[in-house]
């Protein structure tokens, strides 16, 4: 069983609450009993619940969950956020390398074009 804490105003929390409401409203005891309405039999309903496939967690989801739990246990969430925003962050380094690569391409292109014109 996996537990996850989310903000009560997030999309994920709202969708979870909607699912819970649907599930509770579909409980057979809450449905009015009217003759002619077919209710699932006790054994068939139980076998359907037991035999239904459980939703499997992918490797990526499991890794993400493990990483989130590790960050919370070690108390490094804020430290990682601060580090990734700075100059030493991965995204900033990738953007810098991309800019350098583009600039180098433009210089090489200008040299090739200047050699072709004379």
Residue 75, classed as helix, strand or coil, is coil
**Where does residue 58 fall: left (phi above 0), alpha (psi -120 to 50 degrees), or beta otherwise?**
beta
Q: What is the pLDDT of residue 30?
A: 47
Residues ≥6 apart with Cβ < 8 Å to 65: 2, 4, 57
Contact by Cβ (8 Å): 48, 40:
yes
Strands (E), the chain: none
Residue 54, phi then psi, degrees to nearest 5: -85, 150
Instruction: Read off the pLDDT of residues 28-52 as tens digits, 9 standing for 90 and up.
Output: 554 455 555 555 556 666 666 666 6
Q: What is the pLDDT of residue 16?
A: 80
Is the pTM above the cut of 0.85?
no
Instruction: Read off the pLDDT of residues 74-86 as tens digits, 9 standing for 90 and up.
Output: 888 888 877 777 6
Domain extents for the chain? 57-86, 87-117
């Amino acid at each position: 069983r996996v537990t996850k804490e989310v903000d009560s105003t997030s999309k994920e929390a709202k969708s979870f609450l909607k699912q819970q409401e649907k599930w509770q409203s579909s409980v057979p005891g809450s449905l009015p009993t009217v003759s002619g309405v077919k209710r699932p039999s006790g054994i068939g309903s139980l076998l359907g619940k037991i035999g239904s496939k459980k939703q499997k967690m992918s490797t990526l989801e499991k890794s993400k969950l493990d990483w989130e739990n590790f960050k919370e246990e070690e108390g490094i969430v804020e430290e990682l956020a601060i580090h990734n925003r700075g100059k030493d962050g991965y995204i900033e380094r990738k953007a810098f390398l991309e800019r350098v690569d583009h600039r180098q391409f433009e210089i090489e292109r200008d040299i090739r074009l200047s050699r072709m014109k004379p």
